[in-house]
């Protein structure tokens, strides 16, 4: 069972990395044409404001026990039914592509939205989506390797959603600090 779960999350993670990398690179390229004329300071302040707004929205989501701003949909769970004719690699591929595009499904943190805005404003580098995807995929694979494969779906003592949202707030707090450093540090 662990091998099957690992193959599933491995395909999902690779698809997520590819889609996130593509999406941020695409937005970056669009941003070079549409926002490239704006001064760096204006783009950086806009990203910092987006990060602060994201922290507020994520804190609200944690308080309400919900997800943050985004579409309330996901790839159909019926695809994961092993009894059908769908090959086992199709479901994780579609789920990974869907989640990697960022805007198409549930979001646990506004950090992903801030990444898209930062890419569009050409503040985040073109390859930032690959880093975002890797930081999604590695914890997922590690959790699969170290977790109890028979415990999937059982209640936990902690909420992975809330832990992820808390981590998202930390990332959103660090982003304006880094942007401020780049503005006043001469970068």
Residue 123 sits at φ, ψ, to 5 deg, of -85, -50
* Token representation of residue 5: 């779960």
Question: Which runs of consecutive H residues, i.e. helices, occur in 38-159?
Answer: 40-64, 90-100, 111-120, 128-146
Residue 124 sits at φ, ψ, to 5 deg, of -80, 140
Count of Cβ atoms closer than 10 Å to residue 64 Cβ: 9
pLDDT at 11 over 70: yes
The rounded distance, in Å, linking the Cα atoms of 105 and 169 is 19
Count of Cβ atoms closer than 10 Å to residue 29 Cβ: 14
pLDDT in tens, 86-95: 777 888 888 8
Collapsed DSSP state (helix, strand, coil) of residue 184: helix
Of the pLDDT bands very low, low, confident and very high (cuts 50, 70, 90), residue 162 is low
The pTM of this model reads 0.76
- pLDDT value at residue 51: 86
- pLDDT value at residue 171: 67
20 closest CA partner among 133, 149, 117, 180: 133
What is the separation of C-alpha 68 from the centre of its chain, rounded to a whole number of angstroms? 12
pLDDT in tens, 117-160: 999 999 988 998 898 888 888 877 777 777 655 554 454 555 55
């Amino acid at each position: 069972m662990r091998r099957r779960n690992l193959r599933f999350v491995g395909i999902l993670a690779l698809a997520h990395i590819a889609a996130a990398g593509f999406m941020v690179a695409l937005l970056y390229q669009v941003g070079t044409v549409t926002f490239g004329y704006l001064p760096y300071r204006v783009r950086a302040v806009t990203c910092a404001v987006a990060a602060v707004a994201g922290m507020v929205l994520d804190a609200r989501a944690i308080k309400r026990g919900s997800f943050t701003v985004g579409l309330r949909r996901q790839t159909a769970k019926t695809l994961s039914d092993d009894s059908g004719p769908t090959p086992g690699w199709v479901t994780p591929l579609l789920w990974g592509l869907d989640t990697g595009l960022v805007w198409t499904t549930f979001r646990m943190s506004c950090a992903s939205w801030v990444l898209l805005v930062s890419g569009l404003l050409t503040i985040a580098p073109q390859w930032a989506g690959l880093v975002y995807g890797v930081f999604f995929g590695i914890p997922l694979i590690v959790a699969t390797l170290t977790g109890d494969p028979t415990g999937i779906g059982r209640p936990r003592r902690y909420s992975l959603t809330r832990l992820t949202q808390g981590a998202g707030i930390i990332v959103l707090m660090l982003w304006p600090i880094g942007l401020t450093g780049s503005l006043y540090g001469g970068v």
